[in-house]
Structure 1
Amino acid sequence: MVPFARPTAPAPQPSRPAYPAPAAHSTGPATIPAGHRFAAQPSQADSAAPAQPASRDDYAQIAGSIGPARDVPAPDLSPADAAANRVLDTLMKLGHRVRGVLDARFAGMKMTDARYMALRVVQDSSPEGCTQAKLAAALGQCESSVSTLVERMRTGKLVYRLHPKSDRRKRVLLLTDLGREALEHAEAARAEAAKELCVALSHEERDGLCESLGRLLAGVQQTDADAGRRRKVA
């Protein structure tokens, strides 16, 4: 008969707290209490225990305070400046909506709003062609950003570069046959998107809105031009 050793009881393990207590003036990462509403979902074993509501002291343990300790004060604006703020808010929301509608219409066409605008600018510059600097100015971008866009369109055989006879040092962009065909399809898709976006406006309201936005755009472009001149002087 082979003797067996008597089994020994496992050594008791020290109980671990649910979360480490933050040290005073700690520089480590913030600790979120287990009962806090931003904490991870409890496990099945913990779901039986009722969650304790977070107190104001709990918020103090998380990188300062993320609780509703105080509201962010709104700036004190004149009626005209408050109206300008509302215009900006509306334009930002409208910009997201316009991009979403265009993306849906351009889906499957390998077309983006930036590529569409670039093709339009190049088309409007024919037959002389469009320089990269002119394209950047029309799109309101720097030449380095436009350079990436142009290379992608050249890779897609939508545009090509050539040296005009009048100035062999200059290079201009022109649409290829494939580029003109892509722009034609994009124009039709864009017309449908415009109809969808302006369905709630009458003909007169559309004209008035276009005039107001045109003045706003001219003012923004003038501000950008003045800032550019100031940077050059500095």
Structure 2
Amino acid sequence: MEQDHQPATISPTSEKDWRSLQHQEFVEQVDLLIRTAHMIRTALNNSFAHLEINEVRYAALKVIDAIRESGCSQSELARKLGQSESNICTLIERMESDQLVVRRQSQQDRRKRVLQVTEEGYLILERVKEYHGNVSQRLLAALTPDQRRQLTGMLQTLLKAAQVQRSQRETVRTVADSPSPYALRDIPAA
């Protein structure tokens, strides 16, 4: 008995299954990024823990030091690190008490206070950069130079997408999240 061989058609169910599989792939990729980032953060923190600094403090010192000419405000630091200003305020208070940073009046704008890395903070920053470089080199040695360039490009693209998504979430009010019964869609928050 000969079986009929009819061409397969895509049913609405198989399209749904494909989307579900694609969705699952996206979830797995993001989970992989999160696990990788956690492992890298742990390796970095372990490498310079004896200096009594973590990667968040390192990132703050690095940003403040990089823009020392014009001065770095707390709000600018918050923006560059993707943190809330209240979190940065707490971080800076602790770093100030540990004599890693100081707040000074801006030379360009007397109304503004800027952050500066202290001499002690700078010495720690330089030591941490060395440890960070060693850990980074060991971690990325598994990749070829071309793979590292591709990775940099992909990570920059993902970072931009995450920043856009965060920006949209912070500046757009919808009816559901607005306290006013007369809220308009797509109006930037005040």
Amino acid at match of 1:203: P
Aligned to 1:215: 157
Aligned to 1:31: none
Amino acid at match of 1:223: Q
The one of 26, 30, 52 aligned to 1:88: 30
C-alpha offsets along residues 80-116 of structure 1, whole Å, 9 cap, x if unaligned?
4333222201111102201210121112111101000
Aligned to 2:114: 172
Query: Secondary structure at 1:129's aligned position in 2?
Result: coil
Verify: 1:233 aligned to 2:175, yes or no. Answer: no
Distance 1:106 1:76 in 2: 47
Mapping for residues 126-145 of structure 1, pairs under 5 Å: 126-145=68-87
1:135 is displaced (CA, Å) by 0.5
Aligned to 1:182: 124
Aligned to 1:158: 100
Query: Secondary structure at 2:96's aligned position in 1?
Result: helix
Distance 1:216 1:113 in 2: 21
C-alpha offsets along residues 17-73 of structure 1, whole Å, 9 cap, x if unaligned?
xxxxxxxxxxxxxxxxxxxxxxxxxxxxxxxxxxxxxxxxxxxxxxxxxxxxxxxxx
Question: Among the aligned pairs, what percent are the same residue?
Answer: 33
Larger radius of gyration: 1
Unaligned runs of 5+ in 1: 1-74
Query: Secondary structure at 1:108's aligned position in 2?
Result: helix
Mapping for residues 1-234 of structure 1, pairs under 5 Å: 78=19, 79-231=21-173, 232-233=188-189
Amino acid at match of 2:162: V
Distance 2:149 2:64 in 1: 26
Query: Secondary structure at 1:223's aligned position in 2?
Result: helix
8 Å Cα contact 2:100/2:117 also seen in 1: yes
Report the TM-score when normalising by structure 1: 0.64
Distance 1:87 1:145 in 2: 29
Report the TM-score when normalising by structure 2: 0.79
Distance 1:191 1:165, change over 3 A: closer
Residue range with higher mean Cα deviation, 183-192 or 157-166 = 157-166
Relative contact order (alpha carbons < 8 A, sep ≥ 6): 1 or 2 greater? 2
The number of aligned residues is 160
Amino acid at match of 2:85: E
Distance 1:146 1:77, change over 3 A: farther
Query: Secondary structure at 2:24's aligned position in 1?
Result: helix
